[in-house]
Structure 1
């Protein structure tokens, strides 16, 4: 079914789904369940190209129709892999991409510090795979985010949150900059 409606669906997706925007978190699983990676090569390539173009364009768009914190899970679930999407982001050295990183960390800070995947995975991955995705995301943030957060003038709390991600879970809450100090 997805194969037949994909051209029209792509137009709707890139426009933000309008009244159906609340369903954006189900789109990645729809792609995944359609098993697009097993379609004939030209169709598979078209889907991959669409997702990559949409992702790169969104990272460089100041006010995208679908926020980056919603599109990253969609792309990761659609492809069952978060690595390629993080690699694209890493290669894009641009103030708008950096601003999106700041916004995403702000949106996901608590989940990340609790060692939780900051979105519902909709059964794309097993528990072990979900943990691997979360670990890969956290490691990427620890490595990639500090300089970009400084460049955007992000609040010190967000910079500390990323630093805390690099610590073992128990040690995070002993740190003087742990979030409980901010909310107390």
Structure 2
């Protein structure tokens, strides 16, 4: 069940983008049937789930007006993301939105998209029983936004010992070696190629927020040790002297 905040964010998307179309859209004839592309020119027509998913991650060159297409599908897309009907969600599925440059859209539109993504992530953090599913939503939001900052901020706001900490433990277990080696696969579909992925920001955030939360979860001592190594310069993280202090 969605939260009031998430329901309100979906309603705002519906209102702001109601009736929008890509009026002259011809689409990519190699990837989409004419009947599928025609739906983009028809206000309010429901897209089949598989077509919606394909449109959501399509590259801009496959449409005459990529931004118009993203605006056209947003009400149905947000609704399905919010209620979990976007089966098998992967971060890749929101690359279309990430490439659309929605942050530069008119203020009301950009605000509605940002509000939805933030509400979706906050709701997921506080309700998701499966940590890996929560991590997928995190990756999807970052893919759609090309920023980790607001999503990390909401993560930090969650109470210590709550459901969000199970997600943090999984995050740390899965990515700590890459973060220690100054590499990242945390954001597999980074859409803003004008700047690097936010590795330093992720490293600093984990170092600041993970230790107390992992300790409260009685997480593996070696994991806690590795998180602490992020405070060291790269060349000191893997020395024999450093690892001589690791828990047995």
TM-score (norm 2): 0.63
CA–CA separation in structure 2 for the residues paired with 1:36 and 1:93: 31
Alignment equivalent of 2:165, drawn from 87, 98, 117: 98
Question: Structure 1's 66 and 142: CA in aligned 2 closer, same or farther, altered over 3 A?
Answer: closer
Alignment equivalent of 2:139, drawn from 64, 73, 79: 73
CA–CA separation in structure 2 for the residues paired with 1:85 and 1:76: 8
User: Matched residue pairs, number?
Assistant: 176
Question: Structure 1's 37 and 100: CA in aligned 2 closer, same or farther, altered over 3 A?
Answer: same
The answer on 1:137 being equivalent to 2:205 is no
Q: Summarize the alignment of residues 77-156 of structure 1 with structure 2, pairs less than 5 Å apart.
A: 77-94=143-160, 95-126=162-193, 129-130=196-197, 133-156=198-221
Question: Structure 1's 110 and 28: CA in aligned 2 closer, same or farther, altered over 3 A?
Answer: farther
> Residue by residue, what CA displacement relative to the aligned partner does 1:126-184 show, whole Å, maximum 9, x if unpaired?
48622xx10010001101110011111111121112111221222111222799x98xx
Does the 8 A contact of 1:115 with 1:134 survive in 2?
Answer: yes
Question: Structure 1's 100 and 124: CA in aligned 2 closer, same or farther, altered over 3 A?
Answer: same
CA–CA separation in structure 2 for the residues paired with 1:125 and 1:11: 25
> Residue by residue, what CA displacement relative to the aligned partner does 1:30-68 show, whole Å, maximum 9, x if unpaired?
222112112222221111111000010111123259723
Task: Give 4+ residue runs of structure 1 displaced > 4 Å after superposition.
Answer: none
CA–CA separation in structure 2 for the residues paired with 1:101 and 1:28: 22
Give unmatched runs, 5+ long, in structure 1: none
Question: Deviation at 1:121?
Answer: 4.4
Q: Which structure dedicates a bigger proportion of its chain to helix?
A: 1
CA–CA separation in structure 1 for the residues paired with 2:78 and 2:223: 34
Alignment equivalent of 1:7, drawn from 75, 92, 102: 75
CA–CA separation in structure 2 for the residues paired with 1:65 and 1:99: 6
Question: Structure 1's 33 and 12: CA in aligned 2 closer, same or farther, altered over 3 A?
Answer: same
Does the 8 A contact of 1:68 with 1:104 survive in 2?
Answer: no
Give the aligned CA root-mean-square deviation in angstroms: 2.6
Flag the structure with larger Rg.
2
Question: Structure 1's 6 and 128: CA in aligned 2 closer, same or farther, altered over 3 A?
Answer: closer
Does the 8 A contact of 1:157 with 1:177 survive in 2?
Answer: no
Higher relative contact order (CA 8 A, sep 6+): 1
